[in-house]
């Protein structure tokens, strides 16, 4: 019997039990659609976070307290970290680095901000005047504070859009006076809107001179130093140069210098692991669907025992019987896989309205071939059992 005849008989067997065939395919449909949907969400999150980090600025090098090592898709920090970064170290990098295009630093704290009878608890970033250039954070209205205002620890600030909307509403904030932790500040400008990053509002910020932030928080250290290299080709050299400059003033375990590229590599590795994990979890549904297929095929073998006996009696070979049942199992998986792909793609498109989602060709192809493999794998044993039936005993079966 040729392969086309095997296909015809297999499809006839499936059509004879439409409801049972549909229910059998349901596990595969759910598994394939889940794989595509979860992988799409994971890939979308990876692309979104990577893009947002790249928006922070280009060719960035960061100096942070403590010794940090990037290993196996994550970071390891020394167990005890005492922050020894200071403004003097920042000035040393500014003055001695020949590869740095711009340098800034950050002191971050949470304070109560007040205007009139409205108050808001928000993040206050103490930064230098070069912050907008280094971190790609342009001012939309008004201006950022100057280096002389930083040196003089002046009471000036620039606000994020969320803070403006909450405290001022439709009132123009530029030139107004607000209170931060009990001290008066003059609003110089409003930052360009950035939106959210991982559900964190990047516009819920107030920027003040870093020296003023140190006074408000009663600290003489800084949280981090951000260095913008001249170009992408000089990033590694910039890292080495900054390490040497700071190494003259601090021990190696007191600080770490990492590039934006290193941070992105770690992020991509972590997100890649998450993608595989989510895909693996979804694949369990496919295995459950495969077990369902094998179960139904075993039932089918029992129900069609006399049919198998008749076919063997009139000359059907062992190969013909096994081929028919493998084709039935594979057809169930392929039809279920096709429907699952359609539902998975539609689900990913709908998911874009609520969270980042990116459909990848490899996830669709992998899900389809895995569905086919499930059909073949779980169809082998029922096919083997059917092909080994004794024709005389099969004919006697009631």
Tell me what pLDDT residue 54 has: 63
Q: Residues 238-245: contacts with CB within 8 Å, 24+ apart?
A: 238/59, 238/61, 238/97, 238/99, 238/100, 239/61, 241/97, 241/98, 241/99, 241/100, 242/61, 242/63, 242/93, 242/97, 242/100, 245/92, 245/93, 245/96, 245/97
Whether residue 283 contacts residue 35, with contact meaning beta carbons closer than 8 Å, is answered with: yes
For residue 361, count other CB atoms closer than 10 A to its CB.
7
Tell me what pLDDT residue 366 has: 79
Query: What does the DSSP 8-state code read for residue 234?
Result: G
Tell me what pLDDT residue 123 has: 93
Tell me what pLDDT residue 288 has: 75
Tell me what pLDDT residue 2 has: 56
Tell me what pLDDT residue 245 has: 93
Tokens of 341: 């792909």
User: At how many degrees (to 10) do helices 361-387 and 18-55 cross?
Assistant: 150
pTM of the model: 0.64
The span from the CA of 217 to the CA of 114, in Å, is: 17
- What residues in the chain have per-residue pLDDT under 70? 1-17, 52-58, 68-81, 197-199, 264, 266-268, 282, 301-316, 318-320, 381-398
Closest CA to 81 of 70, 94, 68, 69: 68
Tell me what pLDDT residue 107 has: 94
User: At how many degrees (to 10) do helices 318-351 and 18-55 cross?
Assistant: 40
Phi, psi of 190 (to 5 degrees): -125, 130
CA atoms within 13 A on the CB side of 244: 10
Q: Which residue in the block uniquely carries the two structure tokens 């606000």?
A: 159
Phi, psi of 58 (to 5 degrees): -115, 150
Tell me what pLDDT residue 78 has: 47
Residue ranges covered by each domain of the chain: 3-51+275-396, 101-225
DSSP letters spanning 351-371: HTTTS-----HHHHHHHHHHH
Tell me what pLDDT residue 165 has: 93
Tell me what pLDDT residue 392 has: 53
Tell me what pLDDT residue 20 has: 73
Tell me what pLDDT residue 380 has: 73
Helical spans, DSSP H, in the chain: 3-15, 18-55, 87-96, 131-134, 147-151, 161-168, 210-217, 235-247, 260-303, 305-313, 318-351, 361-387, 391-396
Phi, psi of 372 (to 5 degrees): -65, -40
């Amino acid at each position: 019997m040729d392969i086309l005849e095997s296909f015809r008989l297999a499809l006839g067997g499936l059509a004879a039990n439409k409801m049972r065939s549909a229910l059998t395919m349901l596990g595969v449909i759910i598994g394939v659609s889940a794989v595509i949907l979860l992988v799409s969400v994971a890939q979308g999150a990876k692309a979104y976070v990577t893009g947002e980090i790249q928006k922070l600025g280009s060719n960035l090098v960061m100096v942070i307290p403590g010794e940090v090592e990037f290993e196996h898709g994550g970071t390891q920090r020394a167990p005890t970290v005492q922050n020894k970064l200071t403004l003097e170290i920042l000035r040393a990098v500014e003055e001695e680095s020949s590869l740095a295009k711009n340098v800034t630093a950050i002191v971050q704290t949470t304070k109560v901000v007040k205007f009139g009878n409205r108050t808001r608890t928000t993040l206050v970033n103490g930064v230098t005047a070069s912050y907008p250039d280094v971190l790609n954070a342009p001012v939309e209205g008004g201006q950022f504070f100057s280096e002389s205002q930083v040196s003089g620890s002046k009471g000036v600030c620039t606000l994020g859009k969320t803070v403006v909307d909450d405290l001022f509403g439709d009132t123009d904030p530029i030139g107004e006076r607000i209170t931060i932790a009990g001290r008066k500040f003059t609003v110089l400008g409003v930052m360009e809107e950035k939106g959210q990053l991982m559900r964190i509002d990047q516009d819920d910020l107030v920027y003040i001179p870093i020296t003023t932030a140190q006074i408000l928080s009663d600290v003489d250290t800084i949280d981090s130093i951000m260095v913008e290299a001249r170009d992408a080709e000089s990033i590694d050299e910039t890292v080495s140069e900054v390490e040497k400059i700071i190494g003259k003033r601090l021990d190696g375990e007191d600080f770490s210098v990492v590039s934006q590229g290193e941070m992105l590599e770690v992020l991509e590795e972590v997100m890649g692991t998450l993608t595989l994990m989510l895909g693996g979890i979804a694949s369990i549904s496919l295995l459950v669907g495969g077990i369902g297929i094998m179960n139904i095929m075993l039932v089918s073998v029992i129900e069609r025992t006399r049919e198998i006996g008749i076919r063997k009696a009139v000359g059907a070979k062992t190969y013909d019987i096994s081929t028919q049942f493998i084709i039935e199992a594979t057809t169930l998986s392929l039809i279920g896989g096709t429907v699952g792909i359609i539902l998975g793609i539609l689900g990913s498109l709908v998911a874009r309205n609520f969270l980042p989602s990116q459909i990848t060709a490899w996830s669709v192809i992998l899900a389809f071939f895995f569905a086919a493999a499930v059909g073949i794998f779980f169809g082998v044993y029922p096919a083997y059992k059917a092909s080994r039936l004794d024709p005389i005993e099969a004919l006697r079966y009631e």
